[in-house]
Chain A
Amino acid sequence: MKTPEPKHANDLPETANWHRKDLLGIRELELRELETILDTAAAFKTVGSRDIKKVPSLRGKTIVNFFVEPSTRTRTSFELAAFRLSADVVNISATTSSLQKGETLKDTALNLQALYADIIVLRHSSAGAPKFLAERLDSSIINAGDGAHEHPTQALLDAFTIRERLGKIEGLKIAIVGDILFSRVARSDIWALKKLGAEVTLVGPSTLVPRSFEEMGVKVARHIDDILDSADVINLLRIQHERQRKEYFPSLNEYIRFFGLTKARAARLRPGCLVMHPGPINRGVEIDSEIADGPQSVILDQVTNGLAVRMAALYLCSTAGRKTR
């Protein structure tokens, strides 16, 4: 079978609806902007399944993966996305950067810009750090997760996966379960899924799902059993009890007892219900091992789609950045 020729940038979807040099969060995006990224990602997804997995769209562009907080999967995903767009990529991590030596974020970033970085992909433990850079640099800034604020490409890949599997998002009942308070994924998911027309319910210990989230237009349920029968999608967030949540709930055992997606609970899910997780998963905690590997799980689809979504984000921001610069 003949492999199709790699597409050229000209064959890509219309980018007229995208004018941002930066992707900082989902909250500020218009619906048509969300749809533009998802459509662009769909076009890019075909690239990944080809024998030759590259397009020349960002040839000659320099992308810096600036990860001030540790990450394997998101950084690798952005790195591969950049390779597939033919960009040159440099990785900087917290331990190798001058931040260790007391340099400020601003100075480190100015130095990156002085090296003609076209795009900086930033992962940072402080909410608002990507916005801080976007306001000060000409380079495009892509938020790869800032504190507990936003993780826009994760929400985009979640939306992409749901749309791909279920054909739509509007009208779906989507539950997000776990540590909502400290989760940037939850916040970005809420904004994306609400804008795309889903009915979102948050589930988790009352200490980790404050009532103030209801003002974002979502429902809050206290019992996972309340949503099992009706959910079209259940998205389980990683629980981080081992590190810092000791005052929020007593033990992982108790978390599993009330909120874990056990086999018994999974049996009550509707047959078509998707089981999602942004990873890395704690097998046996927020999700039973067999369910994670089961037919309803789309966890690995999410990883694959993350690549397409990140290609779209890099491509769109680079194109818009070129126009504004």
Chain B
Amino acid sequence: MRDLIIRNGRIIDPSIGRDEIADLYVIGGRVSAEPPNNGCEVIDARNLVITPGLIDIHVHLREPGQTHKETIETGSHAAAAGGFSSIVCMPNTDPPADNPSAITWISDRARAGAWVNVFPTGAITKGLNGEEMAPIGSMVQAGIVAITDDGHCVQNHEVMRRAVEYARMFDLAVLDHCQDYNMVGSGVMHEGYWSSVLGLDGWPRTGEELMVMRNILLAELCKTRIHCQHLSSGGSVRLLRDARARGIQVTGELCPHHIALTDEFVSSFDTNYKMNPPLRAREDVEALIEGVADGTITLLGSDHAPHAFFEKEVEFDRAPFGILGLETELALFLTILVHRTKAIDIEHLITMYTVNPSTLLRLQKGTLVSGADADITLIDPDLEWTFRKEQSFSHSRNTPFDGWELKGRAVRTIVGGKTVWSV
């Protein structure tokens, strides 16, 4: 591995409030204040933004058990192509990552074949069944960065309360997929005009909001932090805003599809518009964007959820939930949040992808201070390009964004001083 000089880029490092045109030096895989000696590689970063390597806190790598959808290798390759030097993978694999050996297995696989840093999470409950606490402490020792039953939601508030309380002992974040099973029932799309027209079972906003409210109350009760994943409802944003104003340690996450699309797209019955939580109405999109702009929502993630073509190519109500996200999320957020609505500037966006996830999960990442791991993303914020699913590095192709014209993208991803991907 050669040392690096990344020249003449706009360095945006929100961890220390740095925003200037400068050169960035990498020596021995770490950020350096001093330039390397001769023989180093020089990367021209004129008109590019140099940021701490981006972190996606919500990725499904499907390994073990579902390697026909994705593997740690293919998923992390897609992450690199999306500008992510670190990804946090969800435990709803087959079998679920609910014990320390599973975590060790994932970490070993990642070390052997991943393109970027992979941080595993562990299940909150054994088998993701919502009943019995998983061996959280042992999984912490095995290297998890958070617990979550993502894809599922612990319905029993007492079980959730004890898990949250227990996780606090390890300063461990609890990530929750907010879904009240009774309220949502067999819902497959947002409950509203379009579900009425299409005759598909509705998934009401309230099904999410009830659990957001539950998490706010538990975060307050247990005086610890709970993170609400992939928020879709404007009502959830309001709840979160009020709770955060009262100082409760609750955070929220936004996925790009929830602001790029609405429930109207489901009228095509194309299962690439089926996700959980579902695409919602225009007013939810506006509330979510406002929530990002005013700092209520502080984290971004893809909920990258690969599924094989044959699994998605079925009747709408029988298809699995979820779409790919890693290679389109940065571009979609830049296009919608920074360029189109101007809800936030690029520094704010980078903060949500670097400092905020590092803070939530206590990762030693997301900064370009001297001595830090040289995880670096180069972004061309104004590059206009068209996403083609054929070119994806994921093992799957389930995306509704094929052919979308986007503005801005990562052009190079560096992990530990080594370029793992570039345009």
A residues neighboring B (CB under 8 Å)? 27, 104-106, 124, 126-129, 131-132, 146-150, 181-182, 184, 187, 210, 212-213, 215-216
Binary per-residue interface labels of chain B (201-214) against chain A in the complex, 1 for a CB within 8 Å, 0 otherwise: 00000000000000
Pairs A–B under 8 Å by Cβ, sample size 13? A104-B313, A106-B313, A106-B314, A124-B315, A128-B316, A147-B200, A148-B200, A181-B196, A184-B199, A187-B197, A213-B196, A215-B196, A216-B196
Report B310 CB to chain A, min CB distance, Å. 8
CA distance A238 to B418 in the complex (A): 67
B197–A105 CB distance below 8 A: no
A128–B315 CB distance below 8 A: yes
List of A residues within 8 angstroms of B200 by Cβ: 127-128, 147-149
A128–B196 CB distance below 8 A: no
List of A residues within 8 angstroms of B347 by Cβ: none
Which of A126, A210, A215 makes the CB contact (< 8 A) with B315? A126
List of B residues within 8 angstroms of A212 by Cβ: 191-193, 195-196
Report B296 CB to chain A, min CB distance, Å. 27
Q: Which B residue sits closest to A191, measured CB to CB?
A: B197
**Would you call B317 an interface residue if the criterion is a C-beta within 8 Å of the partner chain's C-beta atoms?**
yes
Report B206 CB to chain A, min CB distance, Å. 14
B54-87 CB contacts (< 8 Å) to partner A: none
Q: Which B residue sits closest to A28, measured CB to CB?
A: B267
List of A residues within 8 angstroms of B193 by Cβ: 212, 215-216
List of B residues within 8 angstroms of A210 by Cβ: 196
B residues neighboring A (CB under 8 Å)? 191-193, 195-200, 269, 310, 313-318
Report B267 CB to chain A, min CB distance, Å. 9
CA distance A127 to B200 in the complex (A): 6
B199–A148 CB distance below 8 A: yes
Report A181 CB to chain B, min CB distance, Å. 8
CA distance A182 to B200 in the complex (A): 9
Q: Which B residue sits closest to A146, measured CB to CB?
A: B199
Which of B191, B192, B269, B313 makes the CB contact (< 8 A) with A131? B269
List of A residues within 8 angstroms of B313 by Cβ: 104, 106
CA distance A128 to B194 in the complex (A): 13
A-B contacts besides A128-B269, A148-B200, 10 pairs, CB < 8 Å: A105-B314, A126-B315, A127-B200, A128-B315, A132-B315, A148-B199, A150-B199, A182-B199, A187-B199, A212-B193
Tell me how many residue pairs across A and B have CB atoms closer than 8 Å.
Answer: 57
B198–A128 CB distance below 8 A: yes
CA distance A184 to B200 in the complex (A): 11
CA distance A13 to B167 in the complex (A): 74
List of B residues within 8 angstroms of A184 by Cβ: 199
List of B residues within 8 angstroms of A105 by Cβ: 314-315
A127–B316 CB distance below 8 A: yes
CA distance A182 to B315 in the complex (A): 18
A147–B317 CB distance below 8 A: yes
List of A residues within 8 angstroms of B192 by Cβ: 212
Which of B197, B310, B316 makes the CB contact (< 8 A) with A126? B316
B197–A216 CB distance below 8 A: yes
A126–B196 CB distance below 8 A: no
CA distance A187 to B269 in the complex (A): 17
A132–B197 CB distance below 8 A: no
List of A residues within 8 angstroms of B317 by Cβ: 126-127, 147
CA distance A304 to B399 in the complex (A): 47
Report B170 CB to chain A, min CB distance, Å. 41
Q: Which A residue sits closest to B313, measured CB to CB?
A: A106
List of B residues within 8 angstroms of A132 by Cβ: 269, 314-316
Q: Which A residue sits closest to B315, measured CB to CB?
A: A126
10 tightest A-B contacts by CB? Answer: A148-B199, A128-B269, A126-B315, A149-B199, A212-B196, A127-B199, A215-B193, A128-B316, A212-B193, A126-B317
CA distance A257 to B63 in the complex (A): 57
List of A residues within 8 angstroms of B191 by Cβ: 212
Q: Which B residue sits closest to A187, measured CB to CB?
A: B199
List of B residues within 8 angstroms of A127 by Cβ: 198-200, 269, 316-317
List of A residues within 8 angstroms of B318 by Cβ: 126
Q: Which A residue sits closest to B319, measured CB to CB?
A: A126
CA distance A132 to B315 in the complex (A): 7
> Which of A128, A148, A150 has the most chain B CB atoms inside 10 A of its CB?
A128
List of B residues within 8 angstroms of A149 by Cβ: 198-200
| Known A-B contacts A128-B269, A212-B192, A215-B193; A104 and B314 likewise in contact (beta carbons under 8 Å) | yes
List of B residues within 8 angstroms of A106 by Cβ: 313-314
CA distance A187 to B195 in the complex (A): 11
List of B residues within 8 angstroms of A147 by Cβ: 199-200, 317
CA distance A104 to B199 in the complex (A): 22
List of B residues within 8 angstroms of A187 by Cβ: 197, 199
Report B311 CB to chain A, min CB distance, Å. 10
List of A residues within 8 angstroms of B197 by Cβ: 27, 187, 216
CA distance A189 to B199 in the complex (A): 14
> Which of B193, B198, B313, B315 has the most chain A CB atoms inside 10 A of its CB?
B315
List of B residues within 8 angstroms of A124 by Cβ: 315
CA distance A132 to B191 in the complex (A): 22
> Which of B197, B199, B316, B318 has the most chain A CB atoms inside 10 A of its CB?
B199
